[in-house]
Structure 1
């Protein structure tokens, strides 16, 4: 059932809003395409600016940094002003540095542009609360999983940017991908809507909204797991084209095509993750996928053919997509009234994972001339997350299992 923002309806009667879900997903896809743009252009940028693996890793991670940090205030602003206003403004503002990046002639200038247009990566923290507020608890996992399809924007960048670079030059890719941001900002402003709120709800102050970060240790557990699942997704989406090109001596276009499959699988697996989060307890699903990821990372330390390596990476993508979907199902379930603030913090943790991991892997590659220690490092991150997934994690100080009402 679609509900207009102007319809006088109680929040309890809301059954969903397909139009808002579609628009939010499209806006997220457009934003994520721009946020991921450095990765498919990495091989061109490395040659043009004569970059080391560490410098390239820093460039790849620059958009992720601001996009991660900004998610916290953006989530709080979304709780206060609504997703329609915040999402539209974010896309409009980020259009400018992305467009200007098309005229960059130095590594430092391009790095600064990437740092600023990376703010568009905070878009995820806008759509999560806006979408979840339109849906009842038993359907939030699936709805948020569908919204997560917006990650496919990364595949659009990975697959399309090399063709643009080969045809008209790498710098034109930034101009090409910036224009949809401006168009989508206008569309979102005029056609999206925020879920109506009860008139009796007292507006919260900034201090009230920040108190949620002290209300439950689960916020930090969810943040840690999203640091792993989304951090790995961003890291390997950025890093995979260069890894495949160097390890198997294939062209940048072919490497980008293989990497786009990784992004597609991780993206659409979010729907499965959200659905599984609706019918099973998320902590059990997260435990299982963490164990699978450790096994996959151990296998990647072994030499194998391109075909087998791709199969293993694609299995990783499915695990990461499921994990991403489950984490935000848990966020919406346990913190229904502070989904923006909590989702912003959790999303920031995931973005920081995507920022630091490419740099770490690039540095390890520079100093060891192989990727084995990098795979070992990320497997240790999985083990650290598993150490927090105990039964007592979901137990309050009173000894009772925490219920989804904790955020109310």
Structure 2
């Protein structure tokens, strides 16, 4: 595959135009951070308001990834990705034309939906590549596409400077730069619509009978699904509490949001019941060869919490960490921290390739997650007495294991159950954002917990940083242990074709109703 990858035809064409679609979705999703200080100064925002906008940027990505997964399984990746990219222009133009804080919040909440684009390409790539190559293919898609966030960080401020055209009183035209990313994404959405195909010629696109909720194949798994859906609403309740603490609204509004989120969970549970009603009432049972274990989805959700969730959190705090620990300039600290994101170009494809070549996707997932945990625990000991290059090398090693673990996770996702791949990818992807929101809130609260004051001392900040990396390290080691015990090698992990492609999948057996 490595030798043929540079061909722009057949499945390799689909791979390249799909990872670039993901790349653009991340350019759009992360177009604020490099221009945040300019937006803050231009509109007279406070530091707390900028933090609020940053939280809004990831809030709706959690439910959006679930919904996008459902739409994907029903309508196919070509149409779903094309429409999402076209939609990206809407929140970009809204944000670019905003005149007050409220308008910024609404547009940034809508922007979070664009961050759900990742799950679409997971199924597209799985349709075009066989199981034995799925790790590297998904790794290239995820790693090269994920680089869009780093691309935004390095280029958007420069582009905004060019677009200012030397206008007096404005060094950066942030409005034109942000609107431009959305317009480019929308144009590419049109290109993708006319150039991508859901499946190779002669191959049918397999859809679940219903996309209202995730289909499970045993009664026990239904209740397990209900349990694992709770954190998806719970983390949004945490976001609502955080926004209340930042003064966006009062406690009454927060309780109303909590009630709405509880209703959303019940609505989701009802939809899952509707999809699985015949199973739960005994009218349907699945033959053994058509069953899958939801525990495999659950463990992949946990792995994505500790790898992708920690990546988003570390990317957010690493510049300040290097600046404060080693007394560096903002520019130097930012460049060093950016090396963490740059690893996506090789680490995530590397994790997928290791998963393909090692001969055991379970072992790969376990080892990479364990090494990530050990790396974070070692990095928690970094302080100003360390040799700076040694600290940089260590965080690069951590980054490799984190992003290789992400690649390994999504080398398994398409192999769980083919016809619900979109929904499985959506659930696993949503848990990555659950991890990010959880870790970011822990990081923001740790100084207060340790120091008990509004303005923590440098010593308290250093202790909070160390504790933060220790928490992520211990969490990763726990999940690595669960991978070793719970995770199973998917059937046909290294086959030449996906399970069921060359044979008819047995229909569920309908039991006669008891009279």
For 1:126 and 1:392, the matched residues in 2 are separated by 27
Higher alpha-carbon deviation: 376-385 or 149-158? 376-385
For 1:124 and 1:375, the matched residues in 2 are separated by 26
For 1:244 and 1:169, the matched residues in 2 are separated by 29
Q: Larger helix proportion, structure 1 or 2?
A: 1
Task: Label 1:255 to 1:45 Cα distance change in 2 as closer, same or farther (>3 A).
Answer: farther
Equivalent runs, 1:1-400 vs 2, <5 Å: 17-42=11-36, 49-52=45-48, 57-148=51-142, 149-164=144-159, 167-195=171-199, 204-206=209-211, 209-211=214-216, 214=222, 215-280=293-358, 281-301=360-380, 302-303=382-383, 304-365=386-447, 368=451, 369=456, 370=461, 371-394=465-488
Counting matched residue pairs gives 387
Higher alpha-carbon deviation: 55-64 or 21-30? 55-64
| Contact in 1 for aligned 2:215/2:420 (Cα 8 Å) | no
Task: Label 1:97 to 1:309 Cα distance change in 2 as closer, same or farther (>3 A).
Answer: same
For 1:35 and 1:101, the matched residues in 2 are separated by 12
Shift of 1:402: 5.9
Higher alpha-carbon deviation: 155-164 or 197-206? 197-206
Shift of 1:403: 2.7
Unaligned runs of 5+ in 1: 2-14, 395-400
Shift of 1:172: 4.4
Task: State the SS of the aligned residue for 1:37.
Answer: coil
Write the deviation string for residues 351-400 of structure 1: whole angstroms up to 9, x where unpaired.
Answer: 22223322321222455431222222222321331241233442xxxxxx
| Contact in 1 for aligned 2:68/2:119 (Cα 8 Å) | yes
Aligned position for 2:290: none
| Contact in 2 for aligned 1:94/1:117 (Cα 8 Å) | yes
Write the deviation string for residues 10-62 of structure 1: whole angstroms up to 9, x where unpaired.
Answer: xxxxx96111111101110010112123333455566752324xx65543332
Shift of 1:202: 7.6
For 1:318 and 1:94, the matched residues in 2 are separated by 30
For 2:205 and 2:310, the matched residues in 1 are separated by 42
Task: Label 1:28 to 1:366 Cα distance change in 2 as closer, same or farther (>3 A).
Answer: farther
Shift of 1:287: 2.3
User: Highest Rg: 1 or 2?
Assistant: 2
Task: State the SS of the aligned residue for 1:337.
Answer: helix
| Contact in 1 for aligned 2:343/2:399 (Cα 8 Å) | yes
TM-score between both structures, scaled by the size of structure 1: 0.84
Higher alpha-carbon deviation: 306-315 or 323-332? 306-315
TM-score between both structures, scaled by the size of structure 2: 0.68
The higher relative CO (CA closer than 8 Å, separation ≥ 6) is in 1
Shift of 1:104: 3.3
Aligned position for 2:167: none
| Contact in 2 for aligned 1:65/1:352 (Cα 8 Å) | no
Shift of 1:87: 0.4
Higher alpha-carbon deviation: 128-137 or 208-217? 208-217
For 1:112 and 1:292, the matched residues in 2 are separated by 40
For 2:422 and 2:30, the matched residues in 1 are separated by 23
| Contact in 1 for aligned 2:70/2:212 (Cα 8 Å) | no
